[in-house]
């Protein structure tokens, strides 16, 4: 069907084009379409329509109760708001708990072997070293015990595993130590660059060079 025919049929259906003109222009093609159009229109027009008043009276009896208007969206919005509030409360509460916990439990690195050694100078045999290394060690020597802040020596008195400060460098700062390293080679503050002066990591792993001078 051509666009012209569609356009002219539309114009005819709106009463803007005479039927004769349409048929004269498009011939049989338009005639068949017009015939079907009128057939459908005739079927629609011939349909008997029930009496509206009687029909409504019968229907009204069935719809006595008002239509249930359920504001679904409003409920959904409320649920969404509650969910957001609960999530926010959990977030804030969790953050607050974490802050309190952190302030009451100072941050301590997992591997505390060096600290254990220096903090408990004469507690008899105790455990040190990496988590997998659970050998009893003898009490620290007097030198190690008196090492004090220069715990590299104390660490060295352990087993050289977690605190392997050498006898030559364990007590004092080295030039290669990190300037921000507070304990300057004592090896007790976890993840710092102590360049072989003791504990060199949170996990208590072995330093690159361990002199094990504690024995």
Partner 1 sequence: MTSVGMEVSAFRGGSSANISPPGLDRKGDDPDGRQHERALVRRAQDGDRDAFGELYRLHLPAVARLVRFRVGREDEDSVSEVFLRAWRGLSSYHDTGVPFGAWLYGIARHVAIDALRRQGRDEPRDELPDRAVEPMTTEVLTLRGAIDELPTEQRQVIELKYLVGMTNEEVAAAMATTPGAVNARQWRALKALAEILEEERS
The footprint of partner 1 (CB under 8 A) covers: 1, 3, 5-7, 9-10, 12-15, 18-19, 32-34, 36-50, 52, 55-56, 58-60, 62-63, 66-70, 72
Q: Which two tokens stand for residue 125?
A: 């045999």
C-alpha–C-alpha distance, residues 199 and 167, integer Å: 14
Nearer CB in complex with partner 1: 42/94: 42
Shortest distance, CB of residue 104 to partner 1, whole angstroms?
A: 55
C-alpha–C-alpha distance, residues 42 and 35, integer Å: 10
Nearer CB in complex with partner 1: 45/107: 45
Nearer CB in complex with partner 1: 60/107: 60
Q: For residue 183, how far is the Cα from the chain centroid?
A: 37
Shortest distance, CB of residue 96 to partner 1, whole angstroms?
A: 44
Q: Which two tokens stand for residue 31?
A: 């005639």
**Partners of 126 in beta bridges:** 137
Residue with tokens 């072989």: 196
Nearer CB in complex with partner 1: 15/106: 15
């Amino acid at each position: 069907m051509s666009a012209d025919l569609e356009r002219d049929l539309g114009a005819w259906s709106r009463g803007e084009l005479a039927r004769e003109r349409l048929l004269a222009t498009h011939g049989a093609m338009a005639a068949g379409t017009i015939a079907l159009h009128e057939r459908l229109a005739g079927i629609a027009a011939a349909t008997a329509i029930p009496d509206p008043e009687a029909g409504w009276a019968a229907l009204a009896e069935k719809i006595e109760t008002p239509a249930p208007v359920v504001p679904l969206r409003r409920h959904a919005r409320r649920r969404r708001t509650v969910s957001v509030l609960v999530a926010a409360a959990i977030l804030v509460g969790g953050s607050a708990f974490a802050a309190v916990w952190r302030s009451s439990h100072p941050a301590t690195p997992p591997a505390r072997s060096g600290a254990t050694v220096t903090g408990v100078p004469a507690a008899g045999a105790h455990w040190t070293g990496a988590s997998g290394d659970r050998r009893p060690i003898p009490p620290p020597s007097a030198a190690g015990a008196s090492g004090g802040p220069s715990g590299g020596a104390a660490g060295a008195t352990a087993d050289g595993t977690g605190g392997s400060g050498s006898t030559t460098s364990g007590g004092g700062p080295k030039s290669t130590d990190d300037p921000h390293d507070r304990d300057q080679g004592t090896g007790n503050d976890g993840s710092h660059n102590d360049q072989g002066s003791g504990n060199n990591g949170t996990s208590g792993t072995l330093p690159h060079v361990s002199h094990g001078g504690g024995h």
